Structure 1
């Protein structure tokens, strides 16, 4: 088990607007939103025969919720190519799904205000269950065109090799 070193100078929680996502060895450009990492463990209730007035609880199956990713539409086709590995419309029989490589492991990184890596999560065996190539088009709007992707996954864990950074400070000028 990794030992955590606490930064005694930090009192504020990390902000949610400095992050990056990576699959393979490449960072994904233009990502503006990543959904929460959430898992739920079922509760298994059971009773003992000699104790009819109360039940006991124990953990059951754990499920990991899908993660959503949003980014502005660009000429980068990575999202669409990955989505097509799950279902490629118009393919011939036996080629609809790329079974060999439709899953990817992801890395989600959170940075502090100074741009230092603070937290990293590894998300395992992700695949695209929903893909929206672009949002509604509206001639009266003034907004960025967004792609949306929903990723099923089989679990995630915090990378304990990433320790809390030593935060920078500015020195006062000498008078």
Structure 2
């Protein structure tokens, strides 16, 4: 017998939707967030052979790296992306860089359709490696939303196990 997909909600058979999410930076949800790239880690495979067994290659885990995360936000007056990017690289030079505040722990919340937090992940020691302040502008496209982006380098992530499956009504 298979394990239940949703232990607290036996009625549920559908997985969570990818459009119901929230990213929290400095304790505040990012306004107008459109998209976030995947959370992905890769562990290098280290191949080796034992001296007495040269015909069989063995594989063991090596170093782990974490893929950068990109956030896309609709173009608004919310300065969260710009302010964070300016802590890393400022037009006023290195003296304007904030060595104390440029790294941040951020939170990704997966929400159910009722808007309740169903799962939560923490990204550790993230910093902005790329910032796109403005999109391409094209007078021929009336129905396009302006998007700004940041790319975050980070030192890993983990699921917040204190967040449990909410009971749905």
TM-score, normalized by the shorter chain, greater than 0.5: yes
Cα-to-partner distance string for 1:89-143 (whole Å, 9 max, x where unaligned): 133xx51522111101000001111222111001100000010001100001121
Partners of 1:20 and 1:167 in 2: how far apart?
19
Whole-Å Cα distance in 2 between the matches of residues 147 and 75 of structure 1? 11
* Counterpart pick for 1:66 among 56, 65, 68: 68
Over aligned residue pairs, what C-alpha RMSD do you find?
1.4
Instruction: State whether residues 128 and 150 of structure 2, in contact with CA within 8 Å, keep that contact through their aligned partners in structure 1.
Output: yes
1:145 is the counterpart of 2:159: no
Q: Distance in 2 between matches of 1:8 and 1:90?
A: 57
Aligned residue number for residue 59 of structure 2: 57
Higher gyration radius (CA): 1
Q: 1:8 aligns with which of 10, 14, 21?
A: 10
> What does residue 3 of structure 2 align with?
none
Distance 2:128 2:22 in 1: 19
SS at match of 2:95: coil
Quick check: 1:132–1:148 contact (8 Å CA) kept in 2? yes
Could you tell me whether the CA contact under 8 Å between 1:44 and 1:60 is conserved in 2? yes
Using the alignment, how far apart are the partners of 2:27 and 2:114 within structure 1? 23
Match of 1:27 in 2: 29
Instruction: Please show how residues 1-175 of structure 1 align to structure 2 within 5 Å.
Output: 5-91=7-93, 94-141=94-141, 142-168=143-169
Secondary structure of the 2:38 match is coil
Q: C-alpha distance in 1, partners of 2:8/2:161?
A: 13
The structure whose residues are more often strand, as a share, is: 2
1-side partners of 2:157 and 2:7: how far apart? 22
Aligned-pair CA distance for 1:6: 4.6
Q: Deviations over 1:23-48 (max 9, x none)?
A: 12211111110110000000011110
Point out where structure 1 has 5 or more consecutive residues left out of the alignment. 169-175
